[in-house]
Structure 1
């Protein structure tokens, strides 16, 4: 049996407890959503597969690109805002199996979320041990917006590709790292964060080779072509889609113009700051304070990651995801979802859980899981999209 297959089997065997924990957390979230839906009369299946962004992905899978919705106030919603990898997979599954595009999206999310949990575990295990890896997976599954991992959205697919790219960077598999980054760049605009991680990994490896002197440089020399190939591959998916939209719209800023039609874009966080301030100094003071505390917690976690001395590719990736989420304008209810792929932020909490007494760690994480399941059902039954 090939050595690579044996390594993969061993990695899967080690990750099995974490994958079982992940499946249990997500199953609980869906069960609570089903019970909530029973009392409210809303279909959990429709909430997960046929609302908001999932409808846009399904339409692209079925009819291709070209749908535009003109709204009052001058907003123009074009399906070009949605990257193509998820609808491509939905179309492929629908062609092979008797599935609608939305149901195919659920299958993609289910498989992708397990693959993401596997890579997340391997990263946690490599850096801080097996218990930290399991805790990291459990915490990622139990995020307040973790229900999105079970929706026909692209977050699970993106996180899987990003996490495997990061793991490949940490283990020096540069062609795999670049390939996964290229696919992540076909999934979401934040694929740029994965490109950054690959490039930082290459720079760190080259610098370490120089620091180790001639022997280090000689050892790194055979890997140099693979490093360069990975660095070149990494941005190709992201750049290809931006270029294609530019050709389609007739201008080099085509994708940015499409996002502008949705009311999205990057303004350095001015719109988000104004949104929070309006609530702090208005009748929705509690909501504004909650948002302020939430942003502070996220920034505190990132500072904890820096103090933890995480590898630079992880810090660069998580920092870029946060920066893009917090400085973008648009629908602010989606910001928690946009930050969900930044799983390295949870590493300080995972290490703390791993070092705690087992009973205390299990009780704490179980409480977080229960709260997350209830909040996810409440959130998904709200009026606005996640």
Structure 2
């Protein structure tokens, strides 16, 4: 693994230093915007035929409603199901609702619409962060392709919803960039923000800690490194401790809230049973597809290791994948939970980068069309939970 932080001396670049970073990233941002606009256009067309509202699908269904309610009323709302299970809004981390409240106060938009604004900005920030990380050790061409692939994933429509995936990925990608460049305080603050966004913020904290440990091992640690290490877990720790205090459950209070939703970590046993049930039923092909999907993810992660990615992205990606695949809960969420695992796309981007321009561009273009159609079908059907 390439554990040496990238510096201006060993940075891979093909543009004069006087060019601003935004100009260097412009093709990646343009590719991201084009793919997402295609997805929204197909969703609008589908809605016109089906009689559905794209705005409602993107901002006022599923988790979007929970985030908007938190922005409007704060925490304390819960639903008791006939089974006795309790769905509490304490399961949702606070950074997205805070930003929704801020945007709504400034713009006068509804909280759901404010969430869409946050996702648009966060999506562009995530695309730029993914490009920045890939550009450091693979170059500009692969960075653009990595962003295009991320924007064209099958469930990428979530990036345009009032969900927290785009926001979390933006914070995670830039935190990793900070670790790779040795910007420890910035990385620590971004990791703390990621910890206020989703439970999987722990992956960002772990990546920073591993990067810091390697820096100290090389004799490159400093007080800034220590500050980053201390800052990184503060966001998640603060929220988890607050939930524990509010519920009276102590350190395990947040886990109790998640258990009410049926979420937990069982090493993948529940997911394996779910696949087994598909294989033993008329949904056999669905079970085979799930196995193929899991094997593809594991193969991609192995490719990340063989590619020689730095330790921080590998640690981050490995934890995101492990939490997504090995958690119990609603299994339809797993593709969405894998969205932040963008390092999985870097080996593919590097391989495409060795092709001719037209051939390389054709792959994300085709995927973008498929993603747009599937996204419209998905949101007008079961949709993301």
* Shorter-chain TM-score tier: over 0.9
Structure 2 Cα separation of the partners of residues 338 and 9 of structure 1: 36
Aligned to 1:200: 210
Alignment of 1:342-353 (within 5 A): 342-353=341-352
Q: What is the Cα deviation at residue 97 of structure 1?
A: 1.1
Q: What is the Cα deviation at residue 378 of structure 1?
A: 1.1
1:114 aligns with 2:112: no
Alignment of 1:236-275 (within 5 A): 236-252=234-250, 253-275=252-274
Q: Secondary structure of the residue that 2:199 maps to in structure 1?
A: coil
Alignment partner for residue 72 of structure 2, among 55, 62, 72? 62
Q: What is the Cα deviation at residue 111 of structure 1?
A: 0.1
Structure 2 Cα separation of the partners of residues 149 and 124 of structure 1: 19
Structure 1 Cα separation of the partners of residues 276 and 19 of structure 2: 52
Q: What is the Cα deviation at residue 381 of structure 1?
A: 1.2
Alignment partner for residue 166 of structure 2, among 133, 156, 159? 156
Q: What is the Cα deviation at residue 385 of structure 1?
A: 3.0
Aligned to 1:372: 371
Q: What is the Cα deviation at residue 8 of structure 1?
A: 11
Alignment of 1:133-282 (within 5 A): 133-209=143-219, 220=220, 223-252=221-250, 253-282=252-281
| Residues 165, 9 of structure 1: alpha-carbon distance in 2 compared, 3 angstrom cutoff | farther
Q: Could you report, residue by residue, the CA deviation over 1:184-232 in whole angstroms, capped at 9, with x for unpaired residues?
A: 00000000000001001101112223xxxxxxxxxx3xx5100000000
Aligned to 1:4: none
Contact 2:336 2:384 in 1 (8 A): no
Q: Secondary structure of the residue that 1:175 maps to in structure 2?
A: helix
Q: Secondary structure of the residue that 1:69 maps to in structure 2?
A: strand
Q: What is the Cα deviation at residue 362 of structure 1?
A: 1.5
More helix by share: 1
Q: What is the Cα deviation at residue 9 of structure 1?
A: 7.1
Q: What is the Cα deviation at residue 384 of structure 1?
A: 4.6
**Once superposed, what is the RMSD of the aligned Cα atoms?**
1.3
Structure 2 Cα separation of the partners of residues 25 and 9 of structure 1: 26
Contact 2:104 2:110 in 1 (8 A): yes
| Residues 19, 320 of structure 1: alpha-carbon distance in 2 compared, 3 angstrom cutoff | same
Q: What is the Cα deviation at residue 351 of structure 1?
A: 0.2
| Residues 257, 225 of structure 1: alpha-carbon distance in 2 compared, 3 angstrom cutoff | same
1:129 aligns with 2:128: no
| Residues 25, 60 of structure 1: alpha-carbon distance in 2 compared, 3 angstrom cutoff | same
Structure 1 Cα separation of the partners of residues 333 and 295 of structure 2: 17
Structure 1 Cα separation of the partners of residues 289 and 248 of structure 2: 43
Q: Could you report, residue by residue, the CA deviation over 1:146-190 in whole angstroms, capped at 9, with x for unpaired residues?
A: 000000000000000000000000000000000000000000000
User: 4+ residue stretches of structure 1 with deviation over 2 A?
Assistant: 383-386
Q: Secondary structure of the residue that 1:273 maps to in structure 2?
A: helix
TM-score by length of 1: 0.94
Aligned to 1:83: 93
Structure 2 Cα separation of the partners of residues 258 and 24 of structure 1: 39
Stretch deviating more after TM superposition (302-311 or 362-371): 362-371
Runs of at least 5 residues in structure 2 that lack an aligned partner in the other structure: 1-16
Structure 1 Cα separation of the partners of residues 227 and 238 of structure 2: 17
Alignment of 1:286-365 (within 5 A): 286-365=285-364
Aligned to 1:95: 105
Q: Could you report, residue by residue, the CA deviation over 1:210-255 in whole angstroms, capped at 9, with x for unpaired residues?
A: xxxxxxxxxx3xx510000000000000111100000000012110
TM-score by length of 2: 0.94
Q: Could you report, residue by residue, the CA deviation over 1:267-290 in whole angstroms, capped at 9, with x for unpaired residues?
A: 111110000000011110011111
Structure 1 Cα separation of the partners of residues 18 and 335 of structure 2: 33
Aligned to 2:83: 73
1:104 aligns with 2:94: no
Q: Secondary structure of the residue that 1:42 maps to in structure 2?
A: coil
Aligned residues: 369
Structure 2 Cα separation of the partners of residues 138 and 92 of structure 1: 30
Contact 2:167 2:197 in 1 (8 A): yes
